[in-house]
Copies of this chain bind each other. A is one copy, B any other.
Amino acid sequence: MSDATPPAPGPDRPREEGLVAGGAHGPGRLRALTAIVLDTLEDAAPARGGPLPAGGPEAVARNTLARFDPVLPEEGIGPESALGDLVRAVAEGAADPADPACVAHLHCPPLAVAVAADLAGAALNPSMDSWDQAPAAGVIEEATTAALARLIHPTALAPDALITSGGTESNLVALLLARERATPGTLRVVTGSNAHHSVHRAAWMLGLPAPVVVACRDGRIDPAALDDALAALAGAPLLVVATAGTTDEGRIDPLPEIARVAERHAARLHVDAAYGGPLLFSERLAPLLAGLEHAASVTFDLHKLGWQPVAAGVLAVADAGMLAPLSLRADYLNADDDTEAGLPDLLGRSIRTTRRPDALKMAVTFRALGRRGLGGLVEHCVRTAQEFGRAVDARPGLRRRPGDIGISTVLFRPAAADALPDEAGDAVVAAVRRTLLAEGRAVLGRALAEDGDGRRRLWLKATLLHPDAATADLLPLLDLVTAAADRAAADHAAAEAPAAEDTDAPLAERLSP
């Protein structure tokens, strides 16, 4: 049996249709189609009328599905209609981080210049796994990763950096490299209770024992607890994973102390600086990352405080030799004789094979803004968070989590929640967030974090990553929260009240919702 019977000869589509984005004619086609995209985006933002659509998950699903059912029809409807319908659906149903009230996550509004650069990458579609798919894109990636490596490890002799799909992949590769240095089955990973879940997930994927979790004080690893944990594991090859910019609170672990403790126990240090890393762009803020130079590897990410469209992850290593375990030979991509003849071997630069040229948008952004420009945007976010924190402090109806603001993350809760027992108060905080989401008025995050009395409580989280938004743009959020909290507390009181009053009602009635 032939495994590829040719289809019966048939008339080809007429060539003049022209389908592809590249070549000499692609840009003309793209001009017409991107115009539809941009017009639709321009219409949809005001139509949405807020940072996200109102109505909650069910309404969003209904409205979205109405625009493209079925997703895979037998006959197509043409590129113009398909683009118009689906771009409208995704835009009207977006949680748009360009809206100052969209502050839940490390989810940045991307810079227009980075998005435009990304379009060039998509149109040319270089794949970063071999020179003959990405001649110039490979050079751009090499120069970009070299610059990042020098930024992150300025005093190392041979630093290097890889492009990744994000902090999760960076942490995974960091643990993989550490695993490969050790005798199989011996590596132990030690991290803080403040670490990102991807550290635990990476250990699981790699077949390593679950990381040993060290206690935190005020959201940061306690070096004494780390010392004890490492002592208890003496003899095993050890990797300490610290965080520079925790997801919940934006806190930076005490890196110099952690580096000293790690060195004392001959442990290698990885720092997850997915959030905090770009502080390095700012001369004024870079000192907050003192100690980072002791890390053998660093997770860095430009789709958070670097304002790139996803994905723009980085893993930096102090020594290029650390990357040797990733080297790989595949005859079709990097045959020995090709490599000897001078064709660069790109395959050992990732755990992925086909890869988009994410370095292009980073390089364009670096050139457009310069280090100083990027540093200025980071400073803007840090300053805005400080000002927003002071605004919270000035509101009688709100309370900020005691202590420092971490990078650009402000935790606060309504006083109405404080007036209730812990569980009920936390429920009010969660309800405020969900109410504002359902009303389409604000996208706030949530975090469990230590309060002044040492108890963990639920907080609303504002992760301020907007490089343009001023503090004044953010203040309406505070009004929204206090109003929603008053309603949630009233709802809570109403829900409690009948339970006390109706104790004589028949059982069935009391159990009904």
Contact = CB atoms under 8 A, between A and B. Distances in A.
Given A41-B120, A132-B437, 12 more contacts: A3-B251, A12-B470, A27-B41, A33-B116, A37-B120, A41-B123, A52-B132, A77-B368, A105-B132, A108-B125, A206-B207, A310-B356
A135 B82 contact: no
A284 to B, nearest CB: 5
Contacts of A335: 430, 446
Contacts of A357: 90
Contacts of A252: 3-4
Q: Which of A135, A197, A205, A335 has the most CB of B within 10 A?
A: A135
A87 interface: yes
Interface stretch (A161-169, A225-233, A483-491): A161-169
28 contacts: A4-B407, A8-B284, A15-B468, A20-B467, A27-B39, A27-B45, A30-B41, A33-B112, A37-B117, A61-B139, A70-B147, A71-B140, A71-B147, A76-B368, A78-B368, A83-B117, A90-B120, A90-B137, A91-B136, A93-B137, A104-B132, A107-B354, A108-B125, A115-B119, A205-B351, A247-B332, A311-B355, A343-B434
A72 interface: yes
Contacts of A82: 113, 364-365, 367-368
A94 B136 contact: yes
Nearest to A126: B94
Interface stretch (A262-270, A370-378, A502-510): A370-378
Given A120-B37, A167-B354, A360-B90, A366 B72 contact: yes
A97 interface: yes
Query: What band does the interface of chain A fall in when counting residues whose beta carbon is under 8 Å from B?
Result: 35 or more
Interface stretch (A234-242, A379-387, A414-422, A492-500): A379-387
B64 A136 contact: yes
Interface string A3-18: 1111111101101011
A126 B90 contact: yes
A65 B144 CA distance: 11
6 tightest CB-CB pairs across the interface, nearest first?
Answer: A93-B136, A207-B207, A22-B98, A76-B370, A23-B98, A33-B116
Interface string A128-144: 00111111110110011
Contact of A309 (B91, B114, B356): B356
Contact of A125 (B109, B342, B354, B445): B109
Interface string A46-87: 100000110011101101110011111111111101110111
A477 interface: no
Contacts of A132: 52, 95, 104-105, 437, 443
A202 to B, nearest CB: 9
B111 A20 contact: yes
A461 interface: yes
Contacts of A354: 106-107, 166-168, 303, 310-311
B90 A124 contact: yes
A19 B468 contact: yes
Given A3-B220, A71-B143, A446-B335, A20 B64 contact: no
Contact of A23 (B99, B197, B330): B99
Nearest to A408: B4
Interface string A340-362: 01111000000111111100100
Which one of A7, A77, A105, A328 has the greatest number of beta carbons of chain B within 10 Å? Answer: A7
Contacts of A446: 331-332, 335, 338
Nearest to A29: B112
Contacts of A119: 34, 37, 115, 118-119, 122
Contacts of A208: 207
A215 interface: no
A362 to B, nearest CB: 9
Contacts of A216: none
Contacts of A310: 125, 127, 354-356
B136 A107 contact: no
A201 interface: yes
A193 interface: no
Interface in A271-317: 282, 284-285, 288, 303, 307, 309-311
Contacts of A130: 104-105
Contacts of A166: 352-355
A89 B126 CA distance: 13
A447 interface: yes
Interface in A176-207: 176, 196-198, 201, 205-207
Contacts of A408: 4
A157 interface: no
A28 interface: yes
Nearest to A111: B19
